[in-house]
Amino acid sequence: MRSSPKNKLSHDAIKAWRVSLSIFISFLVLGLFFLWGYKLLSPEAGFFSTWTLIAISVILIVITGLGIFFIPEIRWRRWFYEVDEHEVDLQSGIFIITRTLVPIKRVQHVDTRQGPILRSYNLADVTISTAATTHRIPALNEEVADQVRDQISKFARLAEEDV
């Protein structure tokens, strides 16, 4: 698509996404260990056959590899945003590229959010809500996030509201 919005997310986003994905995957791995343990201790009683378990393990390894080493990088590279006095313009997506436009007039509230992982990298999400939808600019630098939030709310106050 032509002329992407010009701002990028913080480069630390990649690390933060890797960490949060690793945590999620480690739960899956834990579950898998239980299944394997169960299988090895009582071979005939297991819920899955050995081959199913092997297949699940392989799939999990592939997903882990893709998810941790490639996807955060690509996701970061494909994420752009831009805020001006008329609109918020977002572009994201790895396979399906989504270009979102939110007129500033329609913004009902903006906030920044920060979980423990994002905080450890000094990152924050900016969430933009309208009467119909909610949009998120993920993993910006804390200062940038605050700035974006204040900017949007300033522009939104300037533009008159009727809904």
What is the binding site for other proteins (CB under 8 A)? 1-3, 5-6, 84-87, 89, 93, 95-103, 105-106, 130-133, 135, 155, 160, 162-163
d(CA 163, CA 161): 6
Closer to other proteins by CB, 39 or 87: give it.
Answer: 87
Shortest CA distance to 152 belongs to which of 78, 101, 83, 75? 83
The DSSP 8-state label assigned to residue 124 in this structure reads E
Write down the least CB distance from residue 43 to other proteins, Å: 32
Closer to other proteins by CB, 27 or 95: give it.
Answer: 95
d(CA 66, CA 61): 9
Write down the least CB distance from residue 76 to other proteins, Å: 19
Write down the least CB distance from residue 8 to other proteins, Å: 15
Closer to other proteins by CB, 2 or 51: give it.
Answer: 2
Shortest CA distance to 75 belongs to which of 102, 94, 97, 53? 94
